[in-house]
Amino acid sequence: MSREFISLMIVAVLSLITNISILILLIVKEHCKNGSKNAFWGLFKTKNQDPDQLGVVFCRNCGSTFDSQLEACPFCKPPRE
């Protein structure tokens, strides 16, 4: 491998890392506009989640998996029992 190729690969990798970092910072900044103390960790939560009740359930009708917080299967729409 030539030195030019290696230097170009290093520049490409550094550019990729920089772009991903900027994207993550923009997402976090947009989410933190509400001023919450735990705004960053709020990215990983959904509404009304009890940590003991999180999980995945299976639809009895079509067999697909979906979030346990949903009241009905998002694919075939029968309510959960």
* Tens digits of residue pLDDT in 18-64: 999 999 888 777 766 655 555 555 555 555 556 556 678 888 888 88
27/30 Cα distance (integer angstroms): 5
Question: Which are the contacts of 73, defined by CB distance < 8 A and separation ≥ 6?
Answer: 59, 61, 62, 64, 66, 80
10-14: average pLDDT: 96
1-26: average pLDDT: 92
- Report residue 73: phi and psi, to 5°: -65, 130
3-16: average pLDDT: 94
Domain boundaries, the chain: 1-45, 47-81
Q: What is the C-alpha end-to-end distance of the chain, expressed in Å? A: 63
Q: Provide the pLDDT for residue 68.
A: 79
- Is the pLDDT at 77 greater than 70? The verdict is yes
Can you give the pTM of this predicted structure?
Answer: 0.42
